[in-house]
Chain A
Amino acid sequence: MLKDYLPVLIQALVALGFAVGTLVVSVLLGRSARRNAMKDSAYECGMIPQGEAQPRFSVKFYLVAMLFILFDVEVVFMYPWALNYRDSLREHGPMIFWSMFSFIGIVTVGYVYALKKGVLEWKN
């Protein structure tokens, strides 16, 4: 079982080696950088940078992240259900359909609540 994952490790090491290797080669062979004050400033299309480098951003992004975690967990719950759906349908009848139907029904209440709260309203 665990042996099946050995190629994943090999692939990860090769990918890491490639990433680090190319960066090292670029440092060694690339033209050495000449610095000046303008080059060291943040890039804002050639203008002198204005304001903070890390501006405040809409709290909506946090809401999206939180919703994602909630609903992604729900999606993960559905995976084992989906994989066993056919077998269970054959052996135990349509009960498996209604169980997931009720679960999604409850989740949908939360989803509708989030929508009504205006999580996806980006105008204001």
Chain B
Amino acid sequence: MDTLLSYDWFFIATSLVKTLVIIFGVILPMVSYSVYAERRVSALIQDRLGPNRVGFPTTLLGFKKDLQLFLGGLGQPIADGLKFILKEDFTPAHVNKFYFWLAPILVIVPALLTLAVLPFGSSLDFDFIFQRIFGHGFGPVKMVIADIDVGILFVFAISSLSVYGIVLAGWSSNSKYPFLGGVRSTSQMISYELSIGLSVIPLFMIFGKLNLSAIVRFQAEHGWLLFPFTNGEFTWQKIALWVPCFISFIIFMVSVFAETNRLPFDLPEAETELVAGYHTEYSSMKFALFFLAEYTAMIAGSGLVVALFLGGWHLPFIPDGAGNGGLEILHHLPNWIWGFVNIGVFFGKVSVLIIFFIWVRWTLPRFRFDQLMRLGWIWFFEIALVNIFLTAGVLALFPN
């Protein structure tokens, strides 16, 4: 009984620490620096400079020059965040006040909640510290906030909730452009939810489970889905399965673009037609929450792509946090170092994908609405359906 209680206590404490560290220590800084990266990369693509000179405002204290504490405008996100808090917090008179305030909360909470099931690392083993403090160890701590078996279904269920926030934002604004933006955004998000849902079915057939950490572990053992030979094993099944996996990857990736309202699918906030779409009437922190939610959804989407297709935290030759796999020579270092390396690998892969998101945004033009619906409902829907039977056929024809 005593051990059970202490285990529960430990479980709750680690969950809370993981949640706080991931939200406030990783995701929020990552969001603000992806905004910065977005501005710098777009400037690079358009042959401009971008924000490159935010320093510490010592001129306010009477100095002649600002103190350049941060290199190359790296202080910009901090300045932006402060501005969001300090700006005029305006609620127009014509809006439906309660829902107008509720909408940003309904958008940001699901976006942050989807991160709970993403396995951002293998495990961390701090028993050498716990042994000293409590006299006994607790075993390695899994680097995923909620290790639940519904895994990816949870992501779909929760991420579709953010549609409610967007509808409410558009409707409660009582203004033309937000309303149209909200309607468009809803139909776009639900349409591409369908193709996301269909595109992962081949993966379920291959993995046989939904739990994301189990999926990543499967890829660590059997090779990444998109690069199936990372474990050095060549089979006919793998070669044949690569085709449907690649099709799934393309559909999933494009659908993530559509779900996160990123160009070329940013019709809900097409500036030339709808001003800023559903958040036109928002200002200060309420606007910032929409902004944060959009980038959080982008990070969560990238994390999902990494976990499903690109092997998650796994890198060939690197052992996991419990000291399994990898090169023999690397096992001389303590396990927790490899636990941290795994986390770094995961977020490194996510960062690469985010740069790809930004690159696409500043390269491709926007779709027209009927083209968007056509792409989702005709092309992706049909290709994904065929892809499911392709995978089923391959699995039947090449049993291992």
Contacts and interface: CB of A to CB of B under 8 A. Distances in A.
Contacts of B205: 82-83, 85-86
Contacts of B377: 64, 67, 119-120
Interface stretch (B37-45, B90-98, B310-318, B332-340): B90-98
Interface string A1-31: 0011111101110111011101101110111
Q: Chain A binding site: helix, strand, loop or mixed by DSSP?
A: helix
Contacts, number: 227
Interface string B187-199: 1001101100110
Q: Chain B binding site: helix, strand, loop or mixed by DSSP?
A: helix
A120 B108 contact: no
B85 A42 contact: no
Contact of A14 (B12, B23, B180, B201): B23
Nearest to B389: A101
A97 interface: yes
Given A53-B175, A72-B193, A19 B105 contact: yes
A34 B201 CA distance: 53
B80 interface: no
Contacts of A12: 109, 113
A100 B204 CA distance: 15
Nearest to A107: B385
Interface stretch (B59-67, B120-128, B144-152, B342-350): B144-152
Nearest to B108: A19
Contacts of A4: 146-149
Contacts of A45: 275
Contacts of A85: 204-205, 208, 392, 395
B54 interface: no
Contacts of B88: 30-34
B23 A54 contact: no
Interface residues on chain A, size class: 35 or more
A106 interface: no
B222 to A, nearest CB: 13
B297 interface: no
Given A6-B15, A7-B116, A115-B378, A54 B94 contact: no
A61 interface: yes
A14 B204 CA distance: 31
Contacts of A19: 104-105, 108-109, 289
A39 B283 CA distance: 12
Interface stretch (B132-140, B353-361, B368-376): B368-376
Contacts of A16: 105, 109
B285 A30 contact: yes
Contacts of B113: 8, 11-12, 15
B236 to A, nearest CB: 16
Contact of B201 (A29, A51, A82, A84): A82
Contact of B176 (A49, A83, A101, A123): A49
Interface of B: 8, 11-12, 15-16, 18-20, 23-24, 84-94, 101, 104-105, 108-109, 112-113, 115-116, 145-149, 153-154, 171, 173-177, 179-180, 183, 186-187, 190-191, 193-194, 197-198, 201-202, 204-205, 208-210, 275, 280-281, 284-286, 288-289, 369-370, 373-374, 377-378, 381, 385, 388-389, 392-393, 395-396, 399
Given A6-B146, A8-B145, 8 more contacts: A11-B145, A19-B105, A25-B285, A26-B87, A42-B94, A65-B187, A89-B396, A120-B370
19 contacts: A4-B148, A7-B116, A11-B115, A42-B92, A42-B174, A49-B175, A54-B176, A67-B377, A71-B381, A72-B193, A75-B197, A75-B201, A78-B388, A86-B205, A89-B396, A111-B381, A120-B377, A120-B378, A122-B369
Interface of A: 3-8, 10-12, 14-16, 18-20, 22-23, 25-27, 29-35, 39-45, 49, 51-55, 57, 61, 64-65, 67-68, 71-72, 75-76, 78-79, 82-87, 89-90, 94, 97, 100-101, 104, 108, 111, 115, 119-123
